[in-house]
Amino acid sequence: MQQVLVILIVTVCAGWLGWQAFRYVRPKPGAKGCAGGCCAGEEKPAAAAANASATAGGRTMMISSDDLRARIAARKN
């Protein structure tokens, strides 16, 4: 009886891990079929292109620490 319980628990755990792996690996809706931009020949839909251009302008710009110090000093004056 103990062996049956162990086999059942191991089978359930393996099934659960398999399901989690499937959910992680399966293609997401609207995602490209290949990583790294290898599907460059495909055209983007108009909504996706508009969304990409809107997010490109809202990116955070990295500045050096010297520039940051100069900006903080300018605000204090």
Question: Mean pLDDT score of the chain, rounded to an integer?
Answer: 76
Domain contains 15: yes
Buried b / exposed e over 43-71, threshold 16 CB at 10 Å, is eeeeeeeeeeeeeeeeeeeeeeeeeeeee
Lowest mean pLDDT among 15-19, 21-25, 52-56: 52-56
Q: Is residue 3 part of a domain?
A: yes
The residue segments making up the domain with residue 10 are: 1-25
Residue 24's pLDDT band, with cuts at 50, 70 and 90, is: confident
Q: What domain count does the chain have? A: 1
Indicate whether 71 belongs to any domain. Answer: no
